[in-house]
Amino acid sequence: MAEITLTRTRLTAGRYEGVLACSGTPPVIEAVHLDRVLGGVEVSEMESHPGHHLVGLDLPTSVLSDGVQTVNLRSAADHEVLDRITILAGEPLEHDIRAEIVQLREELELLKRAFRRHCVETGAD
């Protein structure tokens, strides 16, 4: 299969936009969330740039849930994932972030103690 590249240009107000670069006819692109194909992927040719196509997708509200949700944009023919949209939301995420912050603080304290010990041993201030 020819070299295909999908580059995200922005994600705003629930709309994914990207540029698909490929030679020849662009592949059919499908959006997949939890092994379910979502509809609505739009592909249109960029007349000013041959071999490039605009890709758009309005994310459905069904993908907004607690935790981490991933929507894969892939070629329908061979299921090669071209890009991923990852959405983090909800209360379970809040607990994950707090645990991560606690762990980072503990690591920082460990580094501070090691640095102070190093300064004492080398006589540096």
Strand order in the sheet with 81-89: 36-38, 29-33, 67-75, 81-89
Beta bridge partners of 83: 73
Report the distance separating Cα 30 and Cα 117, nearest Å. Answer: 56
| Predicted pLDDT of residue 13 | 95
| Per-residue pLDDT reduced to its tens digit, 35-61 | 999 989 999 999 899 899 999 999 999
The pTM of the whole model exceeds 0.85:
no
* 1 has pLDDT over 60: no
| Per-residue pLDDT reduced to its tens digit, 60-99 | 999 998 888 999 999 999 999 999 999 988 776 667 777 7
| Predicted pLDDT of residue 88 | 84
